[in-house]
Structure 1
Amino acid sequence: MRHFLLTVALLAAPAIAKPDADTKAWLARTAELSSDAMEGRDAGSPGHARAITLVEGWFKAAKLKPAGENGSFRQTVPLHEVAVTAADMRVVSPDGVAAPLRFLHDVTPRPATDLPATLSGAMRFAGYCSAAEAGPELKGKIAVCFGSRRPGRATAAERLAAVTAVGAVALLTVDDVGFTVEPPRWPDAYARSVAHDGAPLPSGLPQFRVNGAALATLIAGSRRLAAAILTDATYHRDLESFDLPGRFEAKLTTVQRRFTAEQLIGLLPGTDKAKANEVLLLGAHIDGYGLGEPVNGDALYNGTLDDAGYVALISQLASRRRGKGFARPVLFAAWTAEEKGLLGARWWLQHPTVPKAQLVGVINLDQLRPLFPLKALTLHGLGQNTLADTAKSVAEGLKIEIRPDRESERNLIRRVDSWPFMEAGIPAVNFVFAYNPRSQQEAIYRDWYQRRYHRPQDDISTPMDLDAARDFNRFFSTLVETAANGAARPVMRVGAPPSP
């Protein structure tokens, strides 16, 4: 992609007073870690390996102690992948006319170990594909379902179970185009499923994700309007079921491979012997999407704010300490394979390089976008543990409002590396820059999500509010110091739910 100098990034940011030295240093690290030379840091790729070497150098220079495997900073995560590398898909009308469906743009197959090389079948639209809608008419046919993400309609698991139970041969799920808090976006970067080596990869009924814009092609000749169906679904109305005149045909190429990806664990020893077994963990994921389907001619997904900026931030905090510890020991973790299912953090919990029982809290950095002034933060973990109470107190001291998740239907809490620790009963927190409904800040965020999130455009050219970056970085440093030096160790609240 086009490479932007750091000075260009500074000029692209909103007008601010001259950035302080700490903010400049953070931005410089962010730019280096998300540069084209790192090729988007896809787990296990050469660019990812270069990023690991770069951050390992930062850890060493900061005088952290190796806390990975075999006396090193590194931990190896073995992975197994199945990918759809090519797909020729089409709808064939009764008179033999074929309408192509573009791979990754119109339809994306779910990679699976038993995905057939060819698939052909008649189609039936079955509304939301609840158990009531998925009738015997689907037997031997390809089910076309609207994938509503709102309460009151079939969930993804319920759709799959319903169409499988009646004997459908495949499932095409049309995106919920009316889910405005997180609208579906195309193209997909690629079609890959990754798991720990030895863990099961997806299998079973062939499944396909369908762009809402491609519904018209699927139902061509049915005398129904795709726009009307999408509108009715957006307004949560019941949908009529009907057979489709065309046949769905696909030729699919899948490839499996086994590979490894490394992650980094460094330790800043504590100074209070009484707290030597009370370890605080700071984490951010080093991996990104790497090279994928081009968007506007650009195929390199740099991942500047997802999550290079926050690996840069934890490493910069370590650098500022220069080996000077807090009362509690602090682990610094640069996780791998977060984008493939939180696999690096999950692997560490299964194979901890520090006794897991010593872990008293996790501060995770992800989903943070300094795009507008920092007035409020959504706090994942609020009400669950006392580490969240500490974060709230620190934020309020800096005049930052702390909020619960007001968009819980997006399920953001389960999509970041703090979640496996929450599941394990370890106090953990994660933050999101918050905004008010219908505000300019919301418009900025929605635009960023639509045009840059998980796209090549998440690069160092992103217009950032560097005052907001400075304010969050200051909050983070203060929170770490407060939590690591606090008299009482963080604990879970008795009876607290694991999610909002």
Structure 2
Amino acid sequence: MRHLLPSVLLLVLLCSGCEKPTESSSTLDEDTQAWWETTTILSSDAMEGRDTGSPGYARAAAVVAERFAAAGLEPLGENGIWFQEVPMEEVAITQAKITVGDRELQFLHDIQASPASAREIVDAPIIYCGYCDSTSTSQVKDKLVICHGTRREDFPSNGDRIRTMSEAGALGILFIADPGFIIEPPRWPFAYSRSVRLAGETFTPATFPTFSINAGSDALDKLIEGSGQNAKELIELGSQGKPLPTFEVEDRLSASFTLADRSIQSANILARLPGTDPSLADQALVLTAHLDGYGYGTAVDGDSLYNGTLDDAAYVALLIQLAERQSGKGFKRPVIFAIVTGEEKGLLGSKYLMKHLPVPQESIAANINLDQLRPLFPLELLTVHALDETTLGDDARAVATSMGIKVQNDPEPERNLLRRSDQWSFIQAGIPAINFVFGFEPGSESERIYRQWYREGYHTPKDDLNQKIDWEAAAKFNSFFYGLVEKVADGETKPAWKAGSKLGPTNP
């Protein structure tokens, strides 16, 4: 990122038509107003969704760097600048044609595949095998197998299904994406199909290709036409975990793909607020949030721009807000601000950062990550990832309790959220880390709102500046975050793993 930083004023002008909070200044506090104005800049249409390596991402990164400079932080990137370039390689499916008999499956709408699975399959026969357990392997050799991706206890995992069908000689699996998994239902259409890796890593095509089938479209009808089976009934039975038949499909599947490779670069933005206590100079607290989003993708209701307002522009904005609140005034411990790229492509920015740290790893005491936060309903309960693993959990509990917020461990570990954001890169390196999700009581209105957002907003164009925000909840979390950073950065003792932690360095 060698270009000059753009003027923030210019970007504010570009965003002059962007959505602002509807509350009057008398009801929305100044800090929350300022936070949302920064969010508005970073997730406006002018930033084009901040896709990794895109011009829009570069513009947003330049804004972050300029704001950090104005707030009195020190650059911590390469050669004394704000940026740490992350070289990457991308493989993308640019064209796909998939047919069953004379019926076409629309790629990204009816069916999805990763570039690793995208190899030409010519005239492959198909068999439907229900849940694809070990009892349904006798007829799968040299065929594509339709499997329900049912995610229930006492059923095989998708990994188990892949292993079982592969060992039985199947050519690949067409997974029916499980609509019964209401905790985090499948979202269609997919924005695109790309695989991004850090430069130097090898792209490895799948030896056993897998596809995902949209249970909400007529994709299964097209696949099994002529079999005498009812696709809707099969999907309902599969979602409920009820017995399913095995049967041959009349027509064969043909698929061809066009792949494109390219090298891209996208920058982490790194800055430091020096500490005030020389004895704690080797105990830096790292604050992270990811700047990248999806960019442009498959249109939903005519909108093809995935702005990524809550994922994660709003919480990059919160780190900027913290820096501006401090205005160069340090805590006892140094604080490193790491705005990372490529999270949506596999935590690539934070992985690269941990391999190319600007300070010795032993001088990093802890990480607080901001992602997966949805201020859409009252903040009364906070899910804290790794709550009981480190002393950071104790600090979070203390700050939350003082504000009337209850805390809990992750009630939905099957979603694997702990490993799906950038705190995981720090945990894997043995560094205490923590992340948060707005919690809710089962059956509450808050749960309804949360589930609806994951059905309709997550990784879609609807995560934009027009969605309804609970401003009181947003302000409450922001205050919680400020309090937690102060408690950890000024604390008497260094953050540490707890004895017996399942995530600590002795139990990676």
Same fold (TM > 0.5): yes
Structure 1 counterpart of 2:88, one-letter code: L
State which drifts further: 275-284 or 156-165.
156-165
| 1:386 corresponding residue in structure 2 | 391
Q: How many residues are aligned here?
A: 489
Alpha carbons of structure 1 residues 5 and 432: separation in structure 2 relative to 1, 3 Å:
farther
| 1:177 corresponding residue in structure 2 | 179
CA deviation after TM superposition for structure 1 residue 17, in Å = 6.0
Matched, 1:35 2:44: yes
Say if 2:18 and 2:40, in contact at 8 Å, map to a contact too: no
Report SS of the residue matched to 2:155. coil
1: CA distance between counterparts of 2:120 and 2:200?
Answer: 24
Match for residue 25 of structure 1 among 29, 34, 40: 34
**Any runs of at least 4 consecutive aligned residues in structure 1 with deviations exceeding 6 A, and if so which?**
none
CA deviation after TM superposition for structure 1 residue 200, in Å = 2.9
| 1:331 corresponding residue in structure 2 | 336
Query: Can you list the C-alpha shifts for 1:65-91, whole angstroms capped at 9, x where unaligned?
Result: 111222111111111111111111121
Match for residue 9 of structure 1 among 20, 29, 34: 20
Matched, 1:73 2:82: yes
Query: Can you list the C-alpha shifts for 1:217-248, whole angstroms capped at 9, x where unaligned?
Result: 21111111222222222222232222111211
Query: Can you list the C-alpha shifts for 1:160-180, whole angstroms capped at 9, x where unaligned?
Result: 222221222222111011001
2: CA distance between counterparts of 1:375 and 1:463?
Answer: 18
1: CA distance between counterparts of 2:17 and 2:488?
Answer: 33
| 2:6 corresponding residue in structure 1 | none
Matched, 1:107 2:111: yes
2: CA distance between counterparts of 1:144 and 1:234?
Answer: 14
Structure 1 counterpart of 2:140, one-letter code: L
| 1:164 corresponding residue in structure 2 | 166
CA deviation after TM superposition for structure 1 residue 120, in Å = 2.6
Say if 1:89 and 1:249, in contact at 8 Å, map to a contact too: yes
Say if 1:384 and 1:493, in contact at 8 Å, map to a contact too: yes
| 1:190 corresponding residue in structure 2 | 192
Q: How does 1:53-72 map to 2 (within 5 A)?
A: 53-72=62-81
Say if 1:84 and 1:191, in contact at 8 Å, map to a contact too: yes
Say if 1:131 and 1:158, in contact at 8 Å, map to a contact too: no
Match for residue 243 of structure 2 among 238, 247, 250: 238
Structure 2 counterpart of 1:192, one-letter code: R
Structure 2 counterpart of 1:76, one-letter code: E
Report SS of the residue matched to 1:339. helix
Say if 1:16 and 1:467, in contact at 8 Å, map to a contact too: no
Task: State the Cα RMSD in Å.
Answer: 1.8
Query: Can you list the C-alpha shifts for 1:325-374, whole angstroms capped at 9, x where unaligned?
Result: 10000000111000001111111111111111111111100111111111
Report SS of the residue matched to 1:259. strand
2: CA distance between counterparts of 1:449 and 1:391?
Answer: 25
| 1:420 corresponding residue in structure 2 | 425
Report SS of the residue matched to 1:178. coil
Report SS of the residue matched to 1:327. coil
Matched, 1:430 2:439: no
CA deviation after TM superposition for structure 1 residue 456, in Å = 0.9
2: CA distance between counterparts of 1:182 and 1:71?
Answer: 42
Say if 1:34 and 1:308, in contact at 8 Å, map to a contact too: yes
Matched, 1:85 2:94: yes
2: CA distance between counterparts of 1:64 and 1:8?
Answer: 29
2: CA distance between counterparts of 1:326 and 1:72?
Answer: 23
2: CA distance between counterparts of 1:359 and 1:132?
Answer: 51
Say if 2:15 and 2:46, in contact at 8 Å, map to a contact too: no
Report SS of the residue matched to 1:137. coil
1: CA distance between counterparts of 2:355 and 2:18?
Answer: 43
State which drifts further: 182-191 or 211-220.
211-220
Matched, 1:47 2:56: yes
1: CA distance between counterparts of 2:312 and 2:489?
Answer: 24
Q: How does 1:126-165 map to 2 (within 5 A)?
A: 126-133=129-136, 135-165=137-167
CA deviation after TM superposition for structure 1 residue 8, in Å = 4.4
TM-score normalized by the length of structure 1: 0.94
Say if 2:94 and 2:258, in contact at 8 Å, map to a contact too: yes
Say if 2:18 and 2:44, in contact at 8 Å, map to a contact too: no
**Ranges in structure 2 where 5+ consecutive residues have no aligned partner:** 1-13
Q: How does 1:353-372 map to 2 (within 5 A)?
A: 353-372=358-377
Say if 2:99 and 2:253, in contact at 8 Å, map to a contact too: yes
| 2:311 corresponding residue in structure 1 | 306
TM-score normalized by the length of structure 2: 0.93
State which drifts further: 375-384 or 165-174.
165-174
| 1:464 corresponding residue in structure 2 | 469
Say if 1:9 and 1:463, in contact at 8 Å, map to a contact too: no
1: CA distance between counterparts of 2:429 and 2:152?
Answer: 28
Structure 2 counterpart of 1:194, one-letter code: V
2: CA distance between counterparts of 1:498 and 1:149?
Answer: 25
| 1:95 corresponding residue in structure 2 | none
Query: Can you list the C-alpha shifts for 1:15-41, whole angstroms capped at 9, x where unaligned?
Result: 996111100000000000001111000
Match for residue 230 of structure 2 among 225, 231, 239: 225
Structure 2 counterpart of 1:193, one-letter code: S
2: CA distance between counterparts of 1:79 and 1:131?
Answer: 39
Structure 2 counterpart of 1:150, one-letter code: R
1: CA distance between counterparts of 2:115 and 2:231?
Answer: 27
Structure 2 counterpart of 1:433, one-letter code: F
Q: How does 1:278-317 map to 2 (within 5 A)?
A: 278-317=283-322
State which drifts further: 378-387 or 247-256.
247-256
1: CA distance between counterparts of 2:26 and 2:229?
Answer: 57
Report SS of the residue matched to 2:368. strand
Structure 2 counterpart of 1:208, one-letter code: F
